[in-house]
Amino acid sequence: MGFFSGRRLRKQATVFWELARAGEIAAACELYASELAADEAELSPELRATYRLLAWIERPDEEHEDALRLLAEGEESDGPVAGALVEVQRRRRAGALVDAIRLGSGESPPLAESPDEPSLALERLALAVLDAQRVERPEAPESDRQAAARRVRRRLPPAESLEGAVAEVRHRLEVWARWTLGQHLESYRIAKTRGLAGADQGAFFLAALYGWARDKVEAGEPDAVLALLDKNLKLLSPSRVTNMTIRWAEHALERGAPERGTAWLSKAIPWVAARLGAADPGRQALLELAFALCLLAEGKHVEGGEVLGRIGRTVPGDGDVALVAASLSGLSALWTAQAGISADADDDEGEARMQVRSRWRTCHPVLHAVASRLEAAERSPVAWRGHLLRGLLAYVDSSRSPDPNQLRRFSAATGRVPPDRRGVAGLKAIETALITRVRATDEAAALIRNGRTSELRDLHERVLVPLGTAIPTLVRVAVVVTLWDADRRGFDPLATLHALQPTPEEAPGVAAAVRLVETVIGLDRLAAQCAAEAPSASGLPDPARLDGGDPVAEVAALATAAIRLRRGEVRDAGAALDARRTSDATLAPSWLLARFRVAWDAGDAKLARRIVAAQAAPPALRTPAARVGVSVQAILDALSSDRPEDAIATAGLGEAVPADRIEHGLVSFVTWQLGRERPELAGRFVRAVRGSVESRADLTPIDLARLRWVLLLLDGLCAARSGQHGVAGGSFEQLLRAPAPPAGLCAAPAVHGRLLGWARLFRIGAELALAAAASVEDVRVRLPALRRTLEEQAARLTESPTLRAYGHLIGGLVSFLGADVVVEADAVARLDAARRSLATGARSAFLDAVIGRLDWRRQLLESFWQALTEGDFKKSLQIFKTELEPGFGANVPASIQLGMVLVDAATGSSSEGTELIRRLAVLEDEAPELDRELFEKAREYVLGGQAIRELTERVRAHDYDGVIEFCQTTRWPGHSEGAMPIPVAIALQHAHYKKKQDEDAIRMGEQFRDVRGFEDWVRDYGRLILGYVLFDNKEFEKAAEVFGELSEAEVLGHDVDRYWAAAHFSHGVQLLGVEQKAEAFEAFARSVSKRQGSEDNRALVPLFVHFGMQNLEERHGSRALQAFELLEGGLADLPDSPDLALDQAVARIGVILCQALLDEVDGPRPDEGTVAVEVLRVEELPEEIRGVFERVFRKMAVCQALRLQGDGRGRRAKRTGRLVAAIQEHVGALERLEEASGGRDPVLRVLQGMFELRIGRSRNAAKAMDLFGQAASLGVRSRLLTGIIERERDLQRQAAEQRRVAFTVFDHYLASGAVPATLRESLVRNDDVAELYRLNRSYRPSDIAVPEVKAGVAALRERIAHLETMLGEDALRSDARLVRLGAKVKEELDRLAGSESKVIELEKEIMRLVAAALARQMVAVDASGAELEEDDDE
């Protein structure tokens, strides 16, 4: 920079400073921009900083603050440049605070980092102002206000840091904060001490008082507040007191403590009235309104309602307070209506719903009155509440529809409700529903009035039904009735109408509709029942209840009468007609016709005659027949009302009427009346005519006689038809005795005879009817006489062809009534024929039962006698006891009693013969009609039977001596002296046999043989006993002859064929005993030949087999052999059959068995197994049992061989090896059999075990023990076998011990380390040694063979080898002596090697033999029991 430039710059800088100091900020900034800015770099930082400060003040721009921040960098923090920056920042924050306070934005800039003290105080004050501003909104929550107050108190700078106006601001803020925090008195003190009181002292005091009192009210201390007010009352205006009183209550409400407000006002209101006077009703009303609000908020609606009512009475009706009170009254009533009832109560139709309806009925008019009152105050600001309430009521009460104006005002009122209130959405829904209802209702009304039912039906289904109760009830009724009227068949309105729940105002309309519909339906039902083909029994509507006036009631009554007449309900029909006489001329003929039918059916002859005579009578009644009909009715009427003269006069049978006409008219009328089931009237008529006839003097005796006879007949008939059986019986009895009428209708003999027959029948009927009506006791008393009478009269009836069937019917029925009557087959047949000819209907079932019962009784008697005839006395007795005796009782016929004597005699029912004889004597006396010879025979029978029973008792008691004595001493009825009945003779022969009185038994037996004429059973019994006696006496030949004469192969369970064969056989044996062999074998042959009358002799097979086996057991081999040979021979010629083949096989096997045993004793030694081989060669042996036989006999053969082994001869067999081979063959065959059959034979296992243990060359004790174990598991229990097993186990234990010792030595040898290598290798590879170690050690020989320790010859040879190597060295090779000694040593060494080799070979052989010996030792131990012993043969 040049000089001049520098000077100019300094000069301009000076001007700048001057302008700055003078406060010419704008000029200074302009100078800087124009003169200094270009050379700014040459200027001092202070000047530049000053410029930026002034420029910022002139126009706050961040550019200047940024420039200052750059200038301040590197400068001292307390220097002027930094101070300029701080000043800018301070000013910027202050500006922001001022803006915030002005705008009330609430945004608080942060405090300066390190401002100077005054600045900081101002900033804190500004922030406090902002805090207070933020919560000064009325809607600010109290909690926010409290928090703001606490922040203000923290922010406020110390009072001494501020002065002037800002200090006052600070003090006011402190007062506000303390008041807000509830420190009301402190706030007032601060205001007072900080000098704030001044003109506002009263305001600060009131504020403090207000706050303090508000808290006291909230704390429930109203008395303290009232005391304070009393103290400062002169400072307070009445309006202020009133406002504060209300405000404190309002505050309690806002704080959710309405009870505090209630408590406060309940004391404050009287206090205000006392202190300020009650002259101002508006003030009082306001306080009361606040009190009512508190009560309502507290839920005390009753008390609140009373207060509100008081307001309504004390203040003008159109005042705001009164209207608000009225509004509150309505809301309180609404609340009360729903209070205490859960909205989600599931009991829709229950108590809750009933309560709501009841309350609603109460509050409903109140709400409407409130709404009307509010609506009337159009200029009042609360008038809209009336419109709102009106709409709500319309919504709740569907019976009322709001008109368009009400609906519009309701919509406007809903807009007055603050949008943030909870119920706004519901109000909108209600508004929509009301609009829909109004539209639907209006549309429905229009359609009804225009008769557009089709569209109405569509609207009903689509809109009205879904809306349900929202549609006014009466409109719904109108719709339903209109639809039903248009289509009565397809629509039932009653269900809908009955389901409605109308209000009291609506109820009459609904009821009228229901009644009208029921009327129309009732008329339809009446029409339907009138027109139905058949009368129905369904109920009828009451004409009096039908709606529609007289025409409807009259026609309904007539219809009811018509229906009743069709049903035969004449009385009810008459009542219906009498209730409503038609005034409709078109219905008059119908009404008269109905009335005539009623009179006719009721027998009102007078009325009937009057109707017939009436001019308006329908054509059907204006006929001659009708006139006759009513005349007859008049006769009946006269008879019914006991005016017989009138009846006779009307009938035209009075004075001067000839007898013919009287008789004709009498018979006509009586028969007609009887046909119409009026016998009483007919009887009256008969008696009236009788009186008339008897009083007439103009009748001749003949006329009188004929008329009397007819009158008697008709009188009896009328009495019978009336159930007067006694009267009827008397009339018929009298008629039967009366002389025949001399003339008239009944005078002809045929007619008279027929009528007398009827009279006879009716007399029986009357007796039966009287008896049937009598008591049980009377019936039982009168029955015998009644039966006799009826039987006689029934017999009389059978004389007449016309009445014969009746006679048979009554006769059969009388037999049925008498249980003791013997029924004959003809009687039953006659009854059956009568049943068919008389064509019984209703009682045919009983009659069938009677016929069945009689027939059964008849069959019983026949069965009784049939059984008696056939000797089946038990059956006779059973029939008598179960059927006849109960039926006959004390009247058992004599013939049956005689039969029962025989039955008792035969069955022993009466053990005393004398009693039976006595009964016979009595019966003979009482029944002289029975043949005397019958009684004689019965006596013999009784006596004989008694003897037989005594004999039987002796036989059963085995009292054979008594039997013999009784038989010989008894005189048997029907037999000559010494003779006896055949059974008795058999019993006697048996007794002789049992008492060994053989001669008598044989003599009697011979008699049975010889005498002709006996039945087969007698001869057989006698011969059987005779055969027994002969057999016992060893007269076998004769016994065989007698047995051969029996007619059956089995008599009384005795096998006669066997006895016969046994006799022959025994005879043969007898002959053998006397050496008559030829004869003996002939006898044997006979025993196996056919017995006379027998099919074959196979039944004797068991006898011969038994005989053979018995002889075998008794060691009579030859006899046994003979038995089997005889059996074999006897069966040889019989025809082939499977059973015969088996018998033949048995015989053949028996022969083989015997021969084998005989060979053992006498003959040469048989090969082992001969028996089995021979048996298996038997061709007759069936294949299906051949296996069984083979198993048995092969085991038998083995046992035989072993048994023979034991008796000393077995050693030879053993030596030859045949025994072993034979046993092996049998065992092998048995194994194959077992394999084929699948079974497990324990005996075979024992045999196999014994073979493995004791027989054969390669014996295996372990296998034998295993087989023995299997046999034991299969159930073999043998003491001997157990001993063998125990001994074998001992031997095995001993052998094991011996082997253990031997192997221990062997182990030591191998482990000694002295065995030469070649020998060791040989031993460990030796099979015997390896096998021994495998069986007895858990290791191999090579495992323990220790390598040879070089010593002895080996060591010597090794040393000599070294010596030879040394002698081969060049230095020594030339020394002859050494050469010679070396050769000598070599020679000796070779010899020594040869000797060693031999010794080792010997050692190897020895060890091999040792191993073999050990092996043999084991075998020797195993086979140490190889010798068979005698007790091993099982």
Partner 1 sequence: MSDESHAALLGEVLERVRQNNLQARPGTPMAELKNAIEEALASLPALEFEEFSKAIDDADAAQRLVQRAPEMIGWNADQIVEWVEKLSEKLS
- List binders of partner 1 among 763-782 (CB under 8 A): 764-765, 768-769, 771-776, 779-780
DSSP conformational letter for 471:
S
Using rule CB under 8 A, residue 843 touches partner 1: yes
CB of 377 to partner 1, least distance (A): 22
Residue 1054, helix vs strand vs coil: strand
Nearer Cβ to partner 1, position 557 or 1039?
A: 557
Print the binding letters for residues 1116-1145 with partner 1: x by CB under 8 A, - otherwise: ------------------------------
Residue 9, helix vs strand vs coil: helix
Using rule CB under 8 A, residue 263 touches partner 1: no
CB of 882 to partner 1, least distance (A): 18
Q: Interaction with partner 1 in 467-506: which residues (CB under 8 A)?
A: 472-475, 477-478, 481-482, 485
Nearer Cβ to partner 1, position 571 or 1398?
A: 571
CB of 551 to partner 1, least distance (A): 6
User: Quick one: which segment of 6-14, 228-236, 659-667, 701-709 binds partner 1 (CB under 8 A)?
Assistant: 659-667
User: Quick one: which segment of 213-221, 461-469, 582-590, 877-885 binds partner 1 (CB under 8 A)?
Assistant: 582-590
Instruction: Out of 358, 671, 1312, 1395, point to the residue binding partner 1 (CB under 8 A).
Output: 671
Cβ-based neighbours of 22, under 8 Å, separated by 6 or more: none
CB of 329 to partner 1, least distance (A): 23
User: Quick one: which segment of 240-248, 513-521, 994-1002, 1133-1141 binds partner 1 (CB under 8 A)?
Assistant: 513-521
Nearer Cβ to partner 1, position 128 or 480?
A: 480
Cβ-based neighbours of 481, under 8 Å, separated by 6 or more: 493, 513, 516, 517
Rounded distance between C-alpha atoms, residue 421 and residue 1036, angstroms:
139
Cβ atoms of 1200 and 1167 closer than 8 Å: no
User: Quick one: which segment of 11-19, 61-69, 226-234, 528-536 binds partner 1 (CB under 8 A)?
Assistant: 528-536
Nearer Cβ to partner 1, position 545 or 1325?
A: 545
Cβ atoms of 1118 and 1158 closer than 8 Å: yes
Radius of gyration of the chain (CA): 76
Using rule CB under 8 A, residue 1242 touches partner 1: no
Instruction: Out of 528, 736, 1132, 1361, point to the residue binding partner 1 (CB under 8 A).
Output: 528
Instruction: Out of 590, 895, 909, 952, point to the residue binding partner 1 (CB under 8 A).
Output: 590
Using rule CB under 8 A, residue 519 touches partner 1: yes
User: Quick one: which segment of 260-268, 754-762, 1186-1194, 1341-1349 binds partner 1 (CB under 8 A)?
Assistant: 754-762
Using rule CB under 8 A, residue 625 touches partner 1: yes
Using rule CB under 8 A, residue 219 touches partner 1: no
CB of 418 to partner 1, least distance (A): 32
Using rule CB under 8 A, residue 1087 touches partner 1: no
User: Quick one: which segment of 87-95, 261-269, 537-545, 624-632 binds partner 1 (CB under 8 A)?
Assistant: 624-632
State both tokens at 371. Answer: 């709404």
Using rule CB under 8 A, residue 736 touches partner 1: no
Rounded distance between C-alpha atoms, residue 798 and residue 839, angstroms:
18
Rounded distance between C-alpha atoms, residue 665 and residue 705, angstroms:
17
How many Cα atoms occupy the beta-carbon half-sphere of 6 within 13 Å? 3
E strand spans, 277-333? none
CB of 713 to partner 1, least distance (A): 8
Residue 1076, helix vs strand vs coil: coil
Rounded distance between C-alpha atoms, residue 980 and residue 990, angstroms:
15
Cβ-based neighbours of 962, under 8 Å, separated by 6 or more: 954
User: Quick one: which segment of 208-216, 751-759, 1250-1258, 1284-1292 binds partner 1 (CB under 8 A)?
Assistant: 751-759
Using rule CB under 8 A, residue 1032 touches partner 1: no
CB of 616 to partner 1, least distance (A): 15
Name 1131's bridge partners.
none
CB of 833 to partner 1, least distance (A): 12
Q: Interaction with partner 1 in 909-938: which residues (CB under 8 A)?
A: none
CB of 412 to partner 1, least distance (A): 20
Nearer Cβ to partner 1, position 54 or 653?
A: 653
Give burial (CB, 10 Å; 0-12/13-18/19+) of 549: exposed
Cβ-based neighbours of 827, under 8 Å, separated by 6 or more: 811, 812, 815, 854
Name 1054's bridge partners.
1051
Nearer Cβ to partner 1, position 74 or 675?
A: 675
Measured between alpha carbons, how far is residue 123 from residues 92, 170, 173, 194, 479 in Å?
Answer: 12, 11, 14, 21, 80
Using rule CB under 8 A, residue 839 touches partner 1: yes
Q: Interaction with partner 1 in 677-716: which residues (CB under 8 A)?
A: 679
How remote is the C-alpha of 145 from its chain's centroid?
A: 73
Using rule CB under 8 A, residue 148 touches partner 1: no
Instruction: Out of 745, 1099, 1272, 1412, point to the residue binding partner 1 (CB under 8 A).
Output: 745
Name 1055's bridge partners.
1050
1051 phi/psi in degrees, rounded to 5:
-125, 120
48 phi/psi in degrees, rounded to 5:
-60, -40
Residue with tokens 């083909």: 533
User: Quick one: which segment of 247-255, 317-325, 587-595, 1240-1248 binds partner 1 (CB under 8 A)?
Assistant: 587-595
Instruction: Out of 292, 559, 1103, 1172, point to the residue binding partner 1 (CB under 8 A).
Output: 559
Print the binding letters for residues 819-838 with partner 1: x by CB under 8 A, - otherwise: ---------------xx--x
CB of 746 to partner 1, least distance (A): 8
Q: What is the helix (H) or strand (E) element at residue 1051, kind and residue range?
A: strand 1050-1051
CB of 822 to partner 1, least distance (A): 18
Helical spans, DSSP H, in 1014-1116:
1016-1032, 1036-1044, 1056-1073, 1077-1088, 1101-1113
User: Quick one: which segment of 671-679, 868-876, 1087-1095, 1394-1402 binds partner 1 (CB under 8 A)?
Assistant: 671-679
Nearest to 235 by CA among 207, 268, 269, 216: 207
Using rule CB under 8 A, residue 675 touches partner 1: yes
State both tokens at 1224. Answer: 């092996």
CB of 203 to partner 1, least distance (A): 58
Print the binding letters for residues 429-468 with partner 1: x by CB under 8 A, - otherwise: ---------x--xx--x--xx-------------------
75 phi/psi in degrees, rounded to 5:
-90, 165
Instruction: Out of 183, 187, 332, 673, point to the residue binding partner 1 (CB under 8 A).
Output: 673
Q: Interaction with partner 1 in 943-982: which residues (CB under 8 A)?
A: none
Helical spans, DSSP H, in 908-1015:
913-926, 932-956, 960-969, 982-994, 998-1010
**Residues in the chain, total:** 1434
Cβ atoms of 1311 and 1346 closer than 8 Å: yes
User: Quick one: which segment of 335-343, 556-564, 997-1005, 1049-1057 binds partner 1 (CB under 8 A)?
Assistant: 556-564
Nearer Cβ to partner 1, position 71 or 717?
A: 717
User: ∠ CA(93), CA(94), CA(96), 5° rounding?
Assistant: 65
Measured between alpha carbons, how far is residue 786 from residues 726, 781, 833, 870 in Å?
Answer: 15, 9, 24, 39
Using rule CB under 8 A, residue 890 touches partner 1: no
Rounded distance between C-alpha atoms, residue 190 and residue 968, angstroms:
166
Print the binding letters for residues 396-435 with partner 1: x by CB under 8 A, - otherwise: ---xxx-x--------------------------------
